[in-house]
């Protein structure tokens, strides 16, 4: 007895679907967060509070909503800053205030775009 089985209609060979692109859901989101950065000697460089901080999937960038904070030189506070939005890049090496920002230096104030 000879049995022939043809599988041409039973299986289809297809490539697996591509992985979905990375989206904002791959990011980490923190609410009511405080971020701080210190120099190599442990002296505080800046402190920022934000309503929300969203870290990129790579962890190299954080976008903030309503950041408020202080910039320091040693133990001395140099500026108080606030903005509608801001960013911290590359492990705290750069801090940017992007819209509606204001800064106050030793009793003086500077307001840009508010």
Per-residue pLDDT tens for 45-80?
Answer: 989 999 999 998 888 888 999 999 998 988 899 888
Q: What's the CATH class of domain 26-112?
A: mainly beta
pLDDT band with cut points at 50, 70 and 90 for residue 2: very low
Residue spans of the domains in the chain: they are 26-112
Report d(CA 1, CA 31) in Å as an integer. Answer: 73
- H or E element at residue 48: strand 44-55
The pLDDT, as a whole number, for residue 114 is 45
Question: Mean pLDDT lowest for which of 9-13, 39-43, 67-71?
Answer: 9-13
User: Could you give the residue ranges of the DSSP H alpha helices within 3-96?
Assistant: none
Q: Which candidate, 92, 102, 8, places its Cα nearest to that of 45?
A: 92
Interval 69-110: pLDDT, tens: 998 988 899 888 888 898 888 766 777 767 666 666 544 444
Would you say residue 26 has pLDDT above 90? Answer: no
Report d(CA 46, CA 92) in Å as an integer. Answer: 9
């Amino acid at each position: 007895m000879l049995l022939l089985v043809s599988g041409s209609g039973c299986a289809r060979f297809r490539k697996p679907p591509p992985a979905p692109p990375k989206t904002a859901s791959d990011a980490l989101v923190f609410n009511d967060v405080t971020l701080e950065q210190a120099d190599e000697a442990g002296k505080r460089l800046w402190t920022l509070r934000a309503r929300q901080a969203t870290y990129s999937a790579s962890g190299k960038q954080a976008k903030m909503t309503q950041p408020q904070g202080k910039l320091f030189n040693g133990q001395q506070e140099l500026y108080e800053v606030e903005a509608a939005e801001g960013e911290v890049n590359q492990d705290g090496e750069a801090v940017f205030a992007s819209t509606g920002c204001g800064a106050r230096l030793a009793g003086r104030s500077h307001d840009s775009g508010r």
